[in-house]
Chain A
Amino acid sequence: LAKTTQPISMDSYEGQEVNITCSHNNIATNDYITWYQQFPSQGPRFIIQGYKTKVTNEVASLFIPADRKSSTLSLPRVSLSDTAVYYCLVGDLNDYKLSFGAGTTVTVRA
């Protein structure tokens, strides 16, 4: 499983765009990049997943450069309810398990 490094915390204000970059220098050819969100005392919730270039859904965008050694989760126009821990996970999707790191605690202020 590729090791990931992401900032411990980030602060933002309502209406701003939040970009969280995750480093995964030893990503393997078969690995995908997945982001989860976790609110306090709740289970992790899938946000977005990609292999390369850009993926966008109704919640976020994921930017992956050509070398795939990093990825950036972009949350557009955050609100207070986006305050959560965001996890970057890298692995072969045929792996049975997910390996979570410490994640990035995003705090959105009014």
Chain B
Amino acid sequence: EPEVTQTPSHQVTQMGQEVILRCVPISNHLYFYWYRQILGQKVEFLVSFYNNEISEKSEIFDDQFSVERPDGSNFTLKIRSTKLEDSAMYFCASRRGTGWAETQYFGPGTRLLVL
């Protein structure tokens, strides 16, 4: 069964450093998402991406965040200058299309720790 993959599985960084989290969505999917989950809290939507542009973003997704689909397979989330409160699990998700039968498939996540 096709699946969403994410790298790295764990990332430790210093406050103020830039990090790039990578995702490979399912190959025939057209809609891409990033979510995050701070330890012990709920899964929060960050951003959605379709047709090479952001479709929607949450208030969490400020100017420190950016997304990119640099080629036909990867989808990245960049945090320019990490803060302690960016420590969380980051999940990528993808969806083939819209419509009631189209669900979002999540990757295994990247655990980001900002020191």
Contact = CB atoms under 8 A, between A and B. Distances in A.
Interface size class of B (residues with CB under 8 A): 20 to 34
Contacts of A42: 108-109
B33 interface: yes
User: Considering residues A34, A98, A103, which has the most beta carbons from chain B within 10 angstroms of its beta carbon?
Assistant: A98
Nearest to B46: A97
B33 A44 contact: no
Interface string B41-75: 01111001010000110100000000000000000
A43 B31 contact: no
B43 A94 contact: no
B114 interface: no
Contacts of A49: 100-101, 103
Chain A interface helix/strand/loop/mixed: loop
A44 B4 CA distance: 12
B22 interface: no
B92 to A, nearest CB: 8
Interface in B79-113: 89, 91, 93, 98-109, 111
Nearest to A47: B103
Given A43-B93, A96-B50, A100-B42, 11 more contacts: A42-B109, A43-B4, A44-B43, A49-B101, A93-B98, A96-B55, A97-B58, A98-B35, A98-B45, A98-B93, A100-B44
Interface of A: 32, 34, 38, 41-46, 49, 51, 87, 93-94, 96-103
